Amino acid sequence: ALDRKGSLGGVCTTSGLAHKLPGRVGDSPLIGSGLYVDNTAGAAGATGVGEEVIRIGGSLMIVEALRAGKTPQEACELAVRKVNAVAVRRGVHPARVAFLALDPRGRVGAACTEQTGFQYAVARPGSMELVKAKELGIEGK
pLDDT at 116 over 80: yes
Q: What's the pLDDT at 19?
A: 65
DSSP per position, 84-131: HHHHHHHTSPPP-EEEEEE-TTS-EEEEEETT---EEEEEETTEEEEE
**Residue 141: what pLDDT?**
62
Torsion, Cα 25 52 117 11, to 10 degrees, reads: 50
Q: Distance between alpha carbon 57 and the CA centroid of its chain, in Å?
A: 10
Given a cut of 90, is residue 17 above it in pLDDT?
no
DSSP 133: P
pTM of the model: 0.92
Cα–Cα distance measured from residue 50 to residue 29, given in angstroms and rounded to the nearest whole number: 10
40-82 pLDDT, tens per residue?
A: 999 999 998 888 999 999 999 999 999 999 999 999 999 999 9
CB-based contact 42:103 (threshold 8 Å): yes
pLDDT-derived band at 89 (thresholds 50, 70, 90) equals very high
